[in-house]
Structure formats: C-alpha cells, structure tokens
Amino acid sequence: MKKETRKEEIIRVAAQLFKQKGYSAVTMRDLAKAMDMQAASLYNHINSKQAILQDIILEIAEAFTEGMNVVISESNSSVEKLNALIALHVRIAINNPEGLAALNTDWMHLEEKLDYYLQLRNDYENNFRAIIVEGIKNDELKPVDVEVILFSMLSTLRSLYLWIPKKDAIKRQQLLEDLTTVLIQGINK
C-alpha cells in the first residue's frame, strides 16, 4: 500500500465533507479546517474546488465503465451478468462510499467534465438495459417492463453508499448474498 500523498488526503477529506453537506455547501474554509490548515494553503496541492470534485467523480465513473466491460466480456448468462453487476456495485460502495455519494448527488456541479460524465453514465445504463432485454428474450427473466427493472435495480445499487457504512465487516459479506436474492428472486415466498 503506497503512502497517501497530501493531495490524496485533501481529496479524501473533501469527499467526506461533500457526503455530509453536498459540494455547494462545503467551503474551502470548511475543508481547510478539517485538514487543520489555512484555506490558502490548500491551493499548493489542488488547483480549484472544482478540480477536487472532478477527481472524486471521474475516478469512480471510470471504474464503473471498466467493471461493466469486464462483466460483458466474461459472464455468460444474463442472470450471471446481473449477479456480477451487483457484486461490482457492492465492491465499489465498500471501497469508496464517500466518493459514491459525491457521484450520486453532486454530478450536476461538474463544469467542463459534465458532458464526459453524462456520456459514461449513459453508456453504462445502455449496457445495463441491454443485459435485461437479453434476459427477457432468452426467458431467464420475467417479461416485466425493462425500464422498471432497470430503475429498480439501479436505484437500489446506487443507494448502497448510504447503507454500507452502517454495516460491520461481517454483515457486509452477507449483504451481497441477501441483496442478490432480493433483487433477483424477490421477497415473496
């Protein structure tokens, strides 16, 4: 494990604050206070507040894109692909819940990089949708409206960052199994 640079530390602490209050409500003075330094000193490590947001969001968005490509190329059945996507979301949510919070709630405050982010998100959703369509076509999934399935799964998976931090390590292992059951098999007996 490489030692964390000062810049990485600032970005990590910023993500924590963004999760609590949102990007717009966090000031550089707030961030400086949490880092135990003066606001002006932050600018020796980062270029702007906006650049911090870009770092946080784009790193995760690109991890999802990469993960999706692996799932598409390596998994076989549609249900297998959906299982792999659930695992992808759980893994990223455990690794970086604060960054995911920023991605989910503050993406609209991206400036130059907004279009790039929206393109990544759109591609991801289209790939997710195609897997569901395929699953219905080959009779693996119930013939429910594709958009409703997509919406329900993505809503749950995108909210994981809110719940993961409340679970201890043991329960997190169980989470993946239970979540797969609920999302794929339903809760009705």
Chain centre to alpha carbon of residue 57: 9
Q: Among a copy of itself, DNA, none, what binds residue 72 when CB lies within 5 to 8 Å by partner kind? A: none
Q: How far is CA 179 from CA 1, 53, 139, 184, 187, in A?
A: 30, 30, 22, 8, 11
Residue 92 contacts residue 67 (beta carbons within 8 Å)? yes
Q: Which of residues 77-136 bind a copy of itself (CB under 8 A)?
A: 79, 105-106, 108-109, 135
**Phi-psi bin for 48: left (phi > 0), alpha (psi -120 to 50), beta?**
beta
Q: Among a copy of itself, DNA, none, what binds residue 6 when CB lies within 5 to 8 Å by partner kind? A: DNA
**Exposure string for 86-115, b = 16+ CB within 10 A, e = fewer:** bebbbebbbebbbbbbbbbebbebbeebee
Residue closer to a copy of itself by CB (options 29, 167) is 167
Residue closer to DNA by CB (options 43, 151) is 43
Interacting residue with a copy of itself among 151, 165, 169, 172 (CB under 8 A) = 151
**Phi-psi bin for 41: left (phi > 0), alpha (psi -120 to 50), beta?**
alpha
Residue closer to a copy of itself by CB (options 28, 37) is 28
Shortest separation between residue 9's beta carbon and DNA, angstroms: 10
Which two structure tokens, joined as six digits, stand for 45? Answer: 């490590």
Q: How far is CA 188 from CA 18, 95, 143, 184, 185, in A?
A: 38, 32, 18, 11, 8
Q: Tell whether residue 156 is a contact of DNA (CB under 7 A).
A: no
* Site track 19-48 with a copy of itself (rule: CB under 8 A), x = hit: -xxx-xx-----------------------
Q: Which of residues 40-59 bind DNA (CB under 7 A)?
A: 40-41, 43-45, 47-50
Residues of the shown chain interacting with DNA in the complex, contacts defined by CB under 7 A: 6, 26-30, 37-41, 43-45, 47-50
Residues of the shown chain interacting with a copy of itself in the complex, contacts defined by CB under 8 A: 20-22, 24-25, 79, 105-106, 108-109, 135, 139-142, 144-145, 147-149, 151-152, 155-156, 158-159, 162-163, 167, 174-175, 178-179, 181-189
